[in-house]
Amino acid sequence: MPDWMENLRCSFCHKAAAEVSKLIAGPGVHICDQCIGLCNEILESERLASTTEPRLPAWESMTDEQILEHLPKIAAVQAQVDDNLRDWVGHLRGRDVSWERIGSSLGMTRQSAWERFRTDS
């Protein structure tokens, strides 16, 4: 496995690529085969139940402790997405795309994009 893959994790369960059979990449996120299986089970059970009632956010049924246990995983996923975004911006800069265009695409000023994504190398 290449070195860069060692840091990849499922954005849903946060398992490392080495812990799952397959890790599928999307723009800035990854999902493992186990989470896809769980999603398929949920979709099938909801299809069979065919309820139209709105669902409460997950935290509505969780205790404070359960929510606190999820925070580190959520923060880790955010860091993974931020790293991926930084890579995409770096690739654009390698193509000489201006900070103006990058900032505009991200809904921020040229200066904000430069401050957030510049590299000192």
The three state secondary structure string of 48-68 is HHCCCCCCCCHHHHCCHHHHH
Query: Does the pTM exceed 0.75?
Result: no
90: left (phi over 0), alpha (psi -120 to 50) or beta: alpha
The H or E element spanning position 40 is helix 33-49
pLDDT on residue 8: 86
Q: Which residues are annotated as a binding site for Zn(2+)?
A: 10, 13, 32, 35
Cβ-Cβ contacts under 8 Å for 53 (sequence gap 6 or more): none
Tell which wins on pLDDT, 14 or 2.
14
Q: Which residues are annotated as a binding site?
A: 10, 13, 32, 35
Q: What digits encode the pLDDT tens for the residues 56-100?
A: 677 888 899 999 998 998 898 888 889 889 999 999 999 999 999
**5-9, 18-22, 99-103, 116-120: range with lowest mean pLDDT:** 5-9
